[in-house]
Amino acid sequence: MTAYEKLRARMHEVALLGGSSSVLSWDQETHMPPKGTPVRAQQLGYLAGLAHRLATASEVGDWIQSCEEEDGSNPERTPNIREWRRDYDRSTRVPAALVEELTCAESFAREAWVQAKGVTQFSTFEPHLDKLVRLCRRKADHLGFADSPYDALMDLYEPGLTVRTAAPLLADLQESLVALLPELQAKTSRLPGDALQGVYPIPAQQAFNHEVAAAMGFDFAAGRIDTTAHPFCSGIGPGDCRLTTRYDERDFTSSLFGVMHEAGHGLYEQGLPAEAYGTPLGEAVSLGIHESQSRLWENHVGRSREFWRHWYSRAGDAFPHLRKIAPDDFWLLINRIEPSFIRVEADELTYHLHIILRFEIEKALIEGTLEARDVPTAWNERFKALFGMTVPDDAKGCLQDVHWSSGLFGYFPTYTLGSLNAAQIFAAAQRQIPTLAGDLAEGRCASLLQWLRKHVHVHGRRYLPAELIRLATVEPPKAKYLIDHLKTKFGSAAE
Amino acid sequence: MTAYEKLRARMHEVALLGGSSSVLSWDQETHMPPKGTPVRAQQLGYLAGLAHRLATASEVGDWIQSCEEEDGSNPERTPNIREWRRDYDRSTRVPAALVEELTCAESFAREAWVQAKGVTQFSTFEPHLDKLVRLCRRKADHLGFADSPYDALMDLYEPGLTVRTAAPLLADLQESLVALLPELQAKTSRLPGDALQGVYPIPAQQAFNHEVAAAMGFDFAAGRIDTTAHPFCSGIGPGDCRLTTRYDERDFTSSLFGVMHEAGHGLYEQGLPAEAYGTPLGEAVSLGIHESQSRLWENHVGRSREFWRHWYSRAGDAFPHLRKIAPDDFWLLINRIEPSFIRVEADELTYHLHIILRFEIEKALIEGTLEARDVPTAWNERFKALFGMTVPDDAKGCLQDVHWSSGLFGYFPTYTLGSLNAAQIFAAAQRQIPTLAGDLAEGRCASLLQWLRKHVHVHGRRYLPAELIRLATVEPPKAKYLIDHLKTKFGSAAE
């Protein structure tokens, strides 16, 4: 076997182990009896360790090097080798002792965070946050970076993303969003926030969600939808991708938008080239691109007037309560813009102010210009400036998210990047598919899905995320399209 | 680490891989979308290969040998080392090339069997059966045996079982069963066979089954019940054991006895000592003992008058249709004895005539005194002699079971052994628990479960099956107890 064939075979094993772990994790969230936890933890730990050892063995480094030294480029081998190199370096540069120390610190930190959040007492979490920041800074040093240690961490989730590119993008975005907020809030909040609330039986929600996901193009012969406490999408391998959602019996849009979001992720997974399974060309490229697919379907399709032109009467059949609400009012209610304290409950506009806040704070923590103990003050001041509201306590402030307690610094920006990408991609699709608005208004999503398959899904990790966006939309990533989308949607007069 | 510690660590890994595979297999039967099949097959194949390589590596043989050479016996180490030796020899004696040839032949044979059964044409299956018999004979030669090559195959499923012990046991049983059949058939078939049929909604069946399994002592915090085409019990590890059943909306006893049977298996799994997980002491000892637990709960508890003394009115609440049937009639209907062609539909008595028939034929095939092409004739002649009925076609005759097409020769006897063991164990429990009949009549199963935990479950693979039966019941395995059970149950006058 050539070095390349050996690499392919090894990485196929790693993919099989990863897919097996995905089934075990999915099962843990959906069906596992509670006393199964200890053995499940052992199984998952063992499979993860095995996959890590297989992927980081020294012979893997040798095979990659042999491939790199060979002549000539090849449309399959070249991107695979480039990405295997990236993965290998990322996994081997951080010493095992530091990985272990981090894993251990995260485990204590998560416990402390749960407790701190429960009693809204930041001081319980503070020493853990401090420790994790220091360890992540050391991790960044090992990973390497040009300008900021925060770059090395963002790169783990969004290959190629740096402060140099992200900061101006987010600054642009912030300025426009803050300017738009008062007008859009006024336009979208004329109805009481609870006007949608009614009786929406779960079986009717499940049937409706299934119908919408199928209309989007989600292949139920290669996937399913289950119920979990926190919605997610798990790609187990070609032919098996699972979505989850949760139900609010008083508001069907909660589970519906959850399903549309996760089905957006699922369509990406189902659109990856099956023949490249086990190689980078068969994998999703980044969190920011993955999130672009989920947000495109959730926000640009699911919250559009066109989409509901077709689906409103179907929804009325499924949920008689809805017939009391005029379509225009319904559309306003699912697009309500209003500042709030909690990120995961935020609307399409203010969501990004939450992310900008986190970006600034975690960047400062990792760069050493902010100390852990000063996070609540910094958070609350910045929140007041961005939202014009006073944070009542840390549980509704800097303690609300699980990410930092899990050692995830550099992850938050991918959410906003997902929305920026979604807007830019959707604008390109609108330009290139003249029938798109009409298609959606008649319940047809095939033209959009086909376009996404061709311009995004099929490439796997062939291009870095920013390059993929440039190829798909003919421009580098910009804040403009999300702003335009919001302005157009609500007929803003702002310039 | 000592050799023993190394063995324990290695076998713990093997157990984690086995449990992970169990989750994947369970998922495949219960929830996996159809297009997931190809990748699932790869995942399962990879995990099985990995576990096999880890368990059969040459260092494992060295560690076992070191342990064997060390002095002294120890209540934990001694049985573990003995059983690790048995497993190691069993897995390493058959050359890899033969294992591969068998796996491949089985795969073709199963396909041919499905086809042959579909069109009831034995000739399609015959060359495959012939090939599998020859390969299994070679497998037996590698495994080694004293008297018959069939011994080597039975030993795979029931350690220590030989023709020398099984043949007289089954001959005894046959004689008594054939003698009893006419009388018991007459006594139990005075009502029409479909008298139970009615409307039994699946949710009501599920609730009732759950209640019964919980009353048996099945721990739902460490297990669950799902729906599959073929019922099974899967022990994933301590704290996670899953049962499945199937539903007939016109007869609730089909799913109920399925659940009681599988819950019997499940109680055994839940009763294995969790601290011995990953070693033979934490594993079920044999199919014949496993089946004794399922059949004890299904037949000796579930089809007894005592059990229904408590459960009949509860069942009437759940299924109003049942109120039209007198309790005595109900008891007769669930105990109806009547010869039929299909093993899996057979009653508590004639079931074993089906097994005796298969035992004789597969023993003759493996010993070379019967050729594959002569199986239909041999089957039909023997069936006529045992049942007094003429087999209408091979689909209702020698093609009905999947076992031979999967290379399973020597497996069938464990079913009857399970019933013999169940009867012998239940008789011992009755002697030793004076309150047992009263307990069951009041819906209490704890005294029985506690007894089974102590005398069967907790031992894992500490004793060979026949020794376990002797210790639990003070006698070697005998046919007498099953015969006594049937006679007593139906008040037979036979001697």
Residues in chain A: 495
User: Residue B237 is nearest to which of A31, A34, A39, comparing CB atoms?
Assistant: A39
Q: Using an 8 Å CB-CB cutoff, list chain A residues near B32.
A: 240
User: Residue B32 is nearest to which of A34, A226, A240, comparing CB atoms?
Assistant: A240
Task: Find which of B21, B43, B233 to mutate to test the A interface (most A CBs within 10 Å of its CB).
Answer: B43
The total of other beta-carbon atoms located within 10 Å of residue A188's CB is: 21
Is A17 in Cβ contact with B46 (below 8 Å)? yes
The ipTM (two decimal places) reads 0.92
Q: What is the pLDDT of residue B494?
A: 56
Which residues of A touch chain B, with CB atoms under 8 Å apart?
A: 13, 16-17, 19-20, 23-24, 27, 31-40, 42-43, 46-47, 50, 219-224, 226, 236-240, 277
Q: Write out the E strands in A332-480.
A: none
Rounded to an integer, what is the distance from CA A75 to the centroid of its chain?
28
Is B39 in Cβ contact with A240 (below 8 Å)? yes
Rounded average pLDDT over B324-343: 96
User: What is the per-residue burial (b if ≥16 Cβ within 10 Å, else e) of A78-109?
Assistant: ebbbbbbebbbebebebeeebeeebeebbeeb
**Annotated active-site residue in B262, B269, B348, B362:** B262
Mind telling me how many Å the CA of A283 is from chain B's nearest CA?
15
Q: Is the torsion defined by CA of B342, B347, B353, B358 positive or negative? A: positive
> Is the per-residue pLDDT at B495 higher than 60?
no
Q: Using an 8 Å CB-CB cutoff, list chain A residues near B275.
A: none
Q: Is the torsion defined by CA of B93, B96, B102, B103 positive or negative? A: positive
> Is the per-residue pLDDT at B45 higher than 60?
yes
> Is the per-residue pLDDT at B227 higher than 70?
yes
Q: Using an 8 Å CB-CB cutoff, list chain A residues near B221.
A: 33-35
Q: What is the pLDDT of residue A146?
A: 95
Is B277 in Cβ contact with A33 (below 8 Å)? no
**Annotated active-site residue in A106, A126, A158, A262:** A262
DSSP state at residue A49:
H
Q: Using an 8 Å CB-CB cutoff, list chain B residues near A33.
A: 220-224, 239-240
Q: Which among B9, B146, B145, B19 has a CA at the least distance from the CA of B80?
A: B9
Question: In degrees to the nearest 10, what's the CA dihedral of A297, A298, A303, A307?
Answer: 40
Is B238 in Cβ contact with A19 (below 8 Å)? no
Q: What is the pTM of this model?
A: 0.93
Is B16 in Cβ contact with A46 (below 8 Å)? yes
Rounded average pLDDT over B450-472: 98
User: How confident is the prediction for chain B on average, in pLDDT?
Assistant: 96
Q: Give the model confidence (pLDDT) of B111-157 as tens digits.
A: 999 999 999 999 999 999 999 999 999 999 999 999 999 999 999 99
B262 part of the active site: yes
Cα–Cα dist A86/A55, whole Å? 12
Task: Find which of B8, B17, B20 to mutate to test the A interface (most A CBs within 10 Å of its CB).
Answer: B20
> Is the per-residue pLDDT at B71 higher than 80?
no
Is B13 in Cβ contact with A219 (below 8 Å)? no
Cα–Cα dist B444/B123, whole Å? 53
The total of other beta-carbon atoms located within 10 Å of residue B90's CB is: 17
SS3 A140: helix
Q: Which residue of A has its CA nearest to B15?
A: A43
Q: What is the pLDDT of residue B493?
A: 61
What is the number of CB-based contacts under 8 A between chain A and chain B? 107
Is A43 in Cβ contact with B19 (below 8 Å)? yes
Residue B227's alpha-carbon distances to A240, A386, A433, B205, B255, in angstroms, are 20, 53, 45, 12, 10
Rounded average pLDDT over B429-457: 98
Is A221 in Cβ contact with B39 (below 8 Å)? no
Task: Find which of A14, A16, A20, A224 to mutate to test the B interface (most B CBs within 10 Å of its CB).
Answer: A20
Mind telling me how many Å the CA of B243 is from chain A's nearest CA?
12
Question: In degrees to the nearest 10, what's the CA dihedral of A4, A6, A8, A10?
Answer: -150
Q: Which among A242, A30, A23 has a CA at the least distance from the CA of B23?
A: A23
Q: Give the model confidence (pLDDT) of B395-440 as tens digits.
A: 999 999 999 999 999 999 999 999 999 999 999 999 999 999 999 9
The secondary structure element, H or E, covering residue A110 is helix A96-118
Cα–Cα dist B37/B22, whole Å? 15
Q: What is the pLDDT of residue B327?
A: 95
Rounded average pLDDT over B262-270: 98
* SS (HEC) of chain B: CCHHHHHHHHHHHHHHHHHHHHHHHHHHHHCCCHHHHHHHHHHHHHHHHHHHHHHHCHHHHHHHHHHHHCCCCCCCHHHHHHHHHHHHHHHHHCCHHHHHHHHHHHHHHHHHHHHHHHCCCHHHHHHHHHHHHHHHHHHHHHHCCCCCHHHHHHHHHCCCCCHHHHHHHHHHHHHHHHHHHHHHHHHHCCCCCCCCCCCCCHHHHHHHHHHHHHHHCCCHHHEEEEECCCCCEEEEECCEEEEEECCCCCCHHHHHHHHHHHHHHHHHHHHCCHHHCCCHHHCCCCHHHHHHHHHHHHHHHCCCHHHHHHHHHHHHHHCHHHHHCCHHHHHHHCCCCCCCCCHHHCCCCCHHHHHHHHHHHHHHHHHCCCCHHHHHHHHHHHHHHHHCCCCCCHHHCCCCCCCHHHCCCCCCHHHHHHHHHHHHHHHHHHHHCCCHHHHHHCCCCHHHHHHHHHHCHHHCCCCCHHHHHHHHHCCCCCCHHHHHHHHHHCCCCCC
Is B23 in Cβ contact with A27 (below 8 Å)? yes
DSSP state at residue A394:
G
Cα–Cα dist A179/B294, whole Å? 71
Q: Which residue of A has its CA nearest to B235?
A: A36
Is B38 in Cβ contact with A239 (below 8 Å)? yes
pLDDT means over runs of 10, chain A (495 residues) = 96 97 95 95 94 97 96 90 97 93 93 95 97 98 97 97 97 96 94 93 98 98 95 96 97 97 98 97 98 98 97 96 94 96 96 98 98 98 97 97 96 98 98 97 98 98 97 95 96 65
